[in-house]
Amino acid sequence: MAEFLDLGRLGYLEAWDTQKGIQADVQSGNRDDTLIFVEHPPVMTLGASFHEENLRLPRSEYAELGIDLIKTDRGGDVTFHGPQQLVIYPVFDLRRHGKDLHRWLRNLEETFIQVCASFGLKGERSSVNTGVWIRERKVAAIGIKVSKWVSIHGIALNCNNDLCPFETIVPCGIQTHVVTSLSVEAGREITIEDAKPEVAKAFQNVFGITFQTFIPNEVP
């Protein structure tokens, strides 16, 4: 059994605080695995492997564009979160799911390959970069942190969001590839509300879990 929370639109730092509180409860055995959905206001997050040169603009210009810059402890380099992008934070105890970081990442990729398939799209892995790709364009970025075998942070799935902010960075530090969205690849609008049930279903399929409830916009 697992729990589900839909936080709606929430600031990055507030959602991070929510994750850490839930992580502590999962670590102590007082809470089941919890899947969080959220949509963030515009923000660039700078991961543990961030390199300053992957910001293509001076820092002051991001503020002028209404985009926050936030240093975070997830893996990876820089990425963008914003409206119409579904961000998924699985706060899961990996001891229940193989106690293997490599397996955890591959299972997350498999989850979003299945999400792509639900919309008639062929999602794929890269042999060198974590994430899910459609024709070598990244549709889902993955960045996690695991403490005492409980994971936080997670996956950003581009649904029908504006991709222009990605042009102001080197997304995930990868020079050779660009980002895409479900809507661009499908040639039709796919919203985060369209994606949510498919993501929940794929998590159930891949991880063999059942959600106690699946109620979008439920506030903890």
164 has catalytic annotation:
no
In the predicted model, is pLDDT for residue 219 greater than 60?
A: no
Q: For residue 217, is it within any domain?
A: no
Q: What is the CATH number of the domain that holds 147?
A: 3.30.930.10
pLDDT, one tens digit per residue, over 21-50 is 999 999 999 999 999 999 999 999 999 999
pLDDT attached to residue 218:
44
What's the domain range around 153? 3-207
Q: For residue 133, is it within any domain?
A: yes
pLDDT attached to residue 220:
38
Q: What percent of the chain has pLDDT over 70?
A: 96
Strands 34-39 and 3-9: parallel
Q: What total of structural domains would you count in the chain?
A: 1
| Residue environment code for 180-210, b if the CB has 16+ CB neighbours within 10 A, otherwise e | bbbbbbeeeebebebbbebbbbbbbebbebe
Q: How far apart are the first and last CA of the chain?
A: 17
Query: Smallest Cα–Cα separation from 82: which of 12, 167, 179?
Result: 12
pLDDT, one tens digit per residue, over 43-73 is 999 999 999 999 999 999 999 999 999 999 9
Q: For residue 220, is it within any domain?
A: no
Please report where in the chains the tokens 């839930």 appear, as a residue: 22
pTM metric for this prediction: 0.94
Strands 3-9 and 43-46: unpaired
The pLDDT-based confidence of 214 (bands split at 50, 70, 90) is low
